[in-house]
Amino acid sequence: MKTINSYLKNLFFGTSILAVLALAFSCTEDTASEDIGSEELNAVSIKGKKARPIKAQLDFLFDYENTAPANIVPCPGTPPPGTIPELPNGFALFQTIVSGNMAHLGNLQPGSEFDDDKNEPISGSYLIPQTCDAIGTFPFEVRTTYLSVYVAANGDELHALENVRINFATGTFEGEAEVQIHDGNGRFKNATGKWVLKNGTFDSVGASWEIEGEITY
């Protein structure tokens, strides 16, 4: 026949096992919770980014008719309106709609024009001028910065600021870009890198050019 002491001993032993199991589960849960946001895992994530070569063949059309006033950037230093027959309204840069093929993005979603009737903003791939400065007299050189948005077929976006030198004497341009993601998404979020613009040619309708460089994502 069991004594009271024996009963209490068994009860204490069973309670102790439950307490140990509960403590072990609690520690495991805490550790997992800490590890998810740990510096070690963050370091692995950062280390997982890889530098990759990037190339592209691109074209754009000037969007004269649909450019919102805020996206038209006049160029200080250029002759006043009416001075040069080729530039009756003076010189300014307009937004452009872009198409082409880019490594890591494939065939770009081409830019679509601003729709006044529907009040829909420009979408797809496009360039919007940010600054403009003319050097010398006509045919002058223009130095400008464009905000570029390149959209892959699946919707991933790569954004950059591109510094461009446009030579009106030769009808060519060149430049370079420090890739800066402003509100990009998908696999290019927080990407870094740089590229150069090569073999750029333009006329009053549009332009074509190549890019070559490196991107890390």
What residue segments make up the domains of the chain, in order of their start?
Answer: 4-47, 51-216
Amino acid at 34: E
Residue 107 has pLDDT above 70, yes or no: yes
- Checking if the pLDDT of 209 tops 90, the result is yes
Share in percent of the chain as helix, strand, coil (round to 5): 20, 45, 35
Residue 104 pLDDT greater than 90, yes or no: yes
**Cα 87–91–93 angle (5° rounding)?**
130
Is the confidence at residue 137, as pLDDT, over 50?
A: yes
Give the separation between CA 131 and CA 188, rounded to whole angstroms: 25
Query: Strand 92-93 relative to strand 192-202: parallel, antiparallel, unpaired?
Result: unpaired
Residue 39: what pLDDT? 39
DSSP tag of 19: H
Rounded-to-integer distance, Cα 57 and Cα 6, Å: 85
Distance CA 130, CA 75 (A): 11
Q: Are 74 and 113 in contact (CB under 8 A)?
A: no
Give the start-end residues of each E strand in the chain. Answer: 51-62, 73-74, 92-93, 96-102, 106-107, 126-135, 141-151, 157-167, 172-178, 192-202, 206-216
**Per-chain mean pLDDT for the chain:** 75
**What band does 177 get if pLDDT is binned at 50, 70 and 90?**
confident
d(CA 101, CA 92): 28
pLDDT at 79: 67
| pLDDT, average across residues 129-156 | 88
Q: Average pLDDT for residues 45-73, to the nearest whole number?
A: 84
What is the rounded CA–CA span in Å between residue 56 and residue 49?
Answer: 21
> Can you give the pLDDT at residue 140?
80
Q: 174 — alpha (psi -120 to 50), left (phi > 0) or beta?
A: beta
pTM score, whole prediction: 0.72
Per-residue model confidence (pLDDT) at position 105 = 94
Q: Give the model's pLDDT for residue 97.
A: 92
